[in-house]
Amino acid sequence: MSLNNTVVWLDHTKAQVIHFDKNASESESMKTHSTHPHPHQKHGDNHVNGDDNTLFYKDIAAALTDSEQILVVGPAEEKTAFVSYLTSKMPAIADKIKSVETVDHPSEGQLLAYAREHFISSGGMQ
């Protein structure tokens, strides 16, 4: 069985990657390598822990190599930064992204249902 549809939910501390088809799914969780509570600029501090984000993004990207279509979701700007990273560093994976959407903090079941509905309604469920 080939689970070639993938949804990635991420924020600044963790990512949930679910590979799925109409009937089955496999899920994987990963956490950022950052030791900072939040990797974004705060209180005039221009230090953003880019190396930690790069490692985090590489971990997520590694989970996407066999995906044929990808939905990227999350509650804030981390999803956009991840897509920008893929576009510049891993364009073959970035080309598989079908949509980037704002989604708060769903359970794994809610995330899977959302992604299945997204791909079915767009006519792209594989």
61 — phi, psi (to 5°)? -60, -40
pLDDT mean over 109-114: 96
Kindly write down the DSSP assignment for every residue of 53-75, as one continuous string: HHHHHHHHHHTTTT-SEEEEEES
Does the structure show a pLDDT above 50 at 20? yes
Is the overall model pTM greater than 0.75, yes or no?
A: yes
Question: What integer pLDDT is reported at residue 100 of this predicted model?
Answer: 97
Identify the structural domains of the chain with CATH numbers, from first to last: 5-39+48-121 (3.30.420.60)
